[in-house]
Amino acid sequence: MSRIVALTNQKGGVGKTSLCWNLAVYLSARFGKRVLVIDLDTQGNISHTLIKQSDASEIPHDALNFYGCQTKMLFDVNMSPDVLQPMRAFYGCDLIYTEPNDLSLTQFVYQKLHDDPAGDHNAPLNHFILTVREFAKNYDYVLIDCPPFIGQHILAALMVCDYVINPIQPTSFVLDGTSGFFQNLQQIGREEIFLGLVLNNVDKRWVRHEAMEQVLKEQLGDKVYRTTIHHRAPFDAAIYLNKPLWRVPAWNTAHEETEAFVRETVSRMNEREGFVDELTVQDEEMEK
3-state SS of 86-129? CEECHHHCEEEECCCCCCHHHHHHHHHHHHCCCCCCCHHHHHHH
CA 44 and chain centroid, separation: 12
Going by their DSSP bridges, the two strands 94-96 and 87-88 should be labelled as: antiparallel
- How far apart CA 105 and CA 192 sit, in angstroms, is 28
Comparing 117 with 265, the larger pLDDT belongs to 265
Report the alpha-carbon distance of residue 269 to residue 43 in Å, rounded: 29
* More confident of the two residues 62 and 98: 98
Per-residue pLDDT reduced to its tens digit, 177-210: 778 888 889 999 999 999 999 999 888 787 777 7
User: In whole angstroms, what is the distance from residue 140 CA to residue 144 CA?
Assistant: 13
Between CA 67 and CA 129 the distance in angstroms is 22
pLDDT value at position 273? 94
The interaxial angle of helices 123-136 and 152-160, nearest 10 deg, is: 40
Evaluate whether 170 touches 209 at the Cβ level (below 8 Å).
yes
CB 4 within 8 A of CB 144: yes
pLDDT on residue 61: 46
pTM of the model: 0.91
146, 154 Cβ separation under 8 angstroms? yes
C-beta separation of 95 from 145 below 8 A = no
Domains in the chain (CATH in brackets) are 3-273 (3.40.50.300)
- pLDDT category at 55 given cuts 50, 70, 90 is low
Nearest to 164 by CA among 26, 276, 4, 1: 4
Range 123-134 average pLDDT: 91
Q: pLDDT, tens digit, for every residue of 57-75?
A: 444 445 457 888 999 999 8
**Per-residue model confidence (pLDDT) at position 262:** 98
